Structure 1
């Protein structure tokens, strides 16, 4: 008889899960360390002081009368009235800003808003405002030298001495002591400069200066440049329209106007439609 050799038993290495029935149903509870942090009395005092400093600082800088504007100094004005600018500044200072308080406080005075107000009222270039503590507002004006207002199409422009233009809203030209020159011919503005109109602009400015100082108190509404009227310039008064010859002496034509008003038309000149001064010693009117 032969003894069969037993086969070796295979080892089972698969993962198994064993549980103890005695601990079945119990949950594992993890405990985390806790840190109990307490503020010391010094830390509490510092926090309290910090909280109290916030409203105290707001009151100090925005409500304390020490920082109210007391003096407004204007420099750089030539034609612009200093008193007018000072009055405008005080008017703004009496207004509220946000919910903090009056703009009389030097920190609350709105420099940008006042700058926009000045730009709307006067022909200004770059100008500066400086707040000098505790209560002085210094305004340095840089006036632009505009000679006229140029009107082309629906748009209006400030016309400077070098013939460059700056577009302006129609409301901003109200009560301006500048002549209005209306171009109803071909557009003459290129790259923000009026071109090919130097002679007409010069004549318009000369006529404006002479007529506005006349004893007849002419109310000049505007100068008109028409298409194809190369040698003529019209002046619309409150009443008649005057027509000038640009190739003739302007002073001579104005003297003719004064003569016919004084000698013949008298006060009735205002009822005429036009007075044409272009033809030598002759004057035509209707």
Structure 2
């Protein structure tokens, strides 16, 4: 049996302990350096003005809508994660996410684009929907555009600047555009203008009759009365019948009806 050298074993244990201590110190200094570097990066990115958003430009928007969009932008800029103001850094600002949120939230927008203007700016260009008329349920009214998208809350309009559509079917509910009726009314209005009628209002009566009335003013006689149309009948056909009837009867100066009913194919009723 070979005798062990106790002195050599103690020396080797001491050497291994020194190596382990040096390894731990090395790991500690590397970790400390990495933490210091991370701290510097975080500080430079989020706590210095180098990449901080401090200018927001809003274009092609009314002052009221500028305020609403600014609130969304400010909310994102002030966003923090674990106390770090990540939202205020232009590098981490996500234009696609915010523009998508705006389109979902604000129906008055037809389109919006957001661009970064390095190093500190954000540019927002928006296209607002153009009001074609006002859709009302009792005293609750909203703007609507040619696509039938509704937005806002407005009082009923008087005069001829905007078409008022009074939906009497859904009393007490938030005005919602019925695109079946809107499409038919959009077909009728230009045709009435060509026949020297000025449109005042449109009315969708309560019930399920599928009819709608257009209140018109005859530019020749000055008389005002409703024209009754129906979705169950051919709209262009009803307009054609109205044109014939106008040439034969309405254009006479003594024609002052209470209403003209065009709901039945090829026939006109009036009183």
**TM-score bracket relative to the smaller structure:** 0.3 to 0.5
TM-score using structure 1 length: 0.45
Q: Which structure has the larger Rg? A: 1
